[in-house]
Structure 1
Amino acid sequence: MSKEMEGADKVFKALADPNRRKVLDLLYTNNGQPLSSLCEELDMQRQSATQHIDILIKANLVSVVWKGREKLHYINPVPIYEVYERWVRKFEQNRLGFLHDLKAQLEGENHGKT
């Protein structure tokens, strides 16, 4: 398996769990949070939260920066963007093209009037 596919598998695995998606939502809203803040919002024990965050780190969806003695967590949107580019965008283009053609056809029949 290629390195790119392994990375995508880790991203999909990480995104499959609702708790990990919540971590990403929390970091999107307030980036750079310590584990204690994330645990408060997740309503789970520190050990469980750490396991979820470790999976996000291994998938490169979260990065860690030490600020003094504090470990801050930041969202990394690049892997999500790569998934979008590979799996969503190509399907979205066809759909948008179809909607554009349909709009043009309907407006042509009605001469631009609704």
Structure 2
Amino acid sequence: MMQFGKVVGMTLGALAIAGSAPAAAIDIQSNRDGAVRAYSYGTNTRVAVADTKQDGHPVYANYRRNTDGQYTLWNKSGSGTTTTSGAGATIYIIQACVSIDAWPDSCDSWRE
């Protein structure tokens, strides 16, 4: 009877571990004028910037990692494309922007 109890206890313990939820991840997203989408999902070690409008304007994302200063990731490949950064420290804030020649750029608010 003791052996049966050990097997049931071990099985229930393994099921509890296997069924537990992973650590919570924070998804960060920023959009502007239907022309750009910047985001970081899951572990937030990479940022991506998508050009979502056929307007001829390049787009970019400003972002900050939890270890140091501000970075900018450009996407100059045109509508329907996405550029992704390399992995690094956790990203905690993002801002999507559209680059407009001879005018101030159009940027979303910083998003956490």
**TM-based fold match above 0.5:** no
Asked which structure has the greater CA Rg, the reply is: 2
TM-score, normalization by structure 2: 0.23
TM-score, normalization by structure 1: 0.22
Q: Which has the higher helix share?
A: 1
Q: Which has the higher strand share?
A: 2
